[in-house]
Amino acid sequence: MSVRYAEPGSTWWPVLWAPAFCLAGAGVEALSGPVHVFAWVVVGIVLTLMAAGWVNARRKVCAVELTDETLRQGPQTLPVERIAGLGEGDGTGAPVLGGGLAVPRKTTEIPLTLDDGSTVLAWAKYPGRMRAALTTVLGARSEDQ
């Protein structure tokens, strides 16, 4: 099962923001007097844990993966055999794959027509690449049949 297109949802580098901000804060504090090391360590740990939770959630909710068999959008997986083709228009009013009310921020919607004639909205940060991968997968599937 080869992965044709993938987006992780988030990288882990935002977790490094908390220690960087705490070091900067401790540096500024050092300019004006004694540094409260214990407080900065506690704040750094709390902020790092919060950032790690945020990144972990984004990696679950905003991840995209297209293989030859499945399209996974966040927590929802759709078998590729259900996709009849790329939809026409903007897909206004169509349900969003992944269970959200709207496509995630900084992503573009991609309407898909399903085998029952309904339209759903897939989404990707790089819609051109996702469309190309979908076209490849759907073309390969139609050649097999």
**Cβ(64)–Cβ(73) below 8 Å:** yes
* Per-residue pLDDT reduced to its tens digit, 6-30: 999 999 999 999 999 999 999 999 9
Structure confidence at residue 89 as a pLDDT band (50, 70, 90): confident
User: What HEC string does 26-49 produce?
Assistant: HHHHHHHCCCCHHHHHHHHHHHHH
Strand order in the sheet with 83-86: 83-86, 108-114, 119-124
Distance CA 71, CA 81 (A): 10
AA letter at 66: L
- Give me the percent of the chain exceeding a pLDDT of 70: 96
pLDDT of residue 42 exceeding 70: yes
Mean pLDDT of 25-37: 94
